[in-house]
């Protein structure tokens, strides 16, 4: 697991909050932003994108993960997630993050830029179903 200093935490929360401001959330008015740092040091941001057909909406965390994956990244160190009130990632986002590492640090912040919680993917999703659970 990666160790973060306060400056790194603040920077990632700021990037996630900036991404949150770009969210397309006309239905819920609940803007979410994410900033994902990979083991290569690159940072990928994402925001939630809603759709009138609700199931086709996409969460900020998964947008950031998919952007990183599409650029060839596979190892994640930390993801910062910012919501207006410091809400936690949904179950689908937890599962997608678990696919790429249970030790990934998760920073949860609010719209004021305050750190609400610091945990890991494993802490958010104990007993996660991972690739090792697939019997071949």
Q: How far apart are CA 84 and CA 118, in angstroms?
A: 17
Of residues 14, 50, 61, 112, which has the active-site annotation? Answer: 61
Active site residue 8: no
> CA-to-CA distance for 8 and 16, rounded, in angstroms?
12
Query: Token match 């640090």: residue?
Result: 105
d(CA 97, CA 79): 9
By annotation, the residues acting in catalysis are: 61
């Amino acid at each position: 697991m990666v160790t973060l200093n306060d400056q790194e935490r603040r920077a990632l929360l700021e990037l996630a909050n900036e991404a949150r401001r770009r969210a397309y959330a006309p239905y819920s008015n609940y803007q979410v932003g994410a900033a994902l740092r990979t083991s290569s040091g690159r940072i990928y941001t994402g925001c939630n994108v809603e759709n009138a057909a609700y199931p086709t909406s996409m969460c900020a965390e998964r947008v950031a993960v998919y952007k990183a994956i599409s650029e060839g990244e596979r190892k994640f160190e930390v993801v910062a997630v910012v919501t207006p009130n410091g809400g936690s990632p949904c179950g689908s986002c937890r599962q997608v993050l678990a696919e790429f590492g249970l030790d990934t640090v998760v920073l949860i912040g609010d719209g004021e830029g305050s750190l609400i919680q610091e945990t890991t993917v494993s802490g958010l999703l104990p007993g996660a179903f991972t690739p090792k659970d697939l019997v071949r």
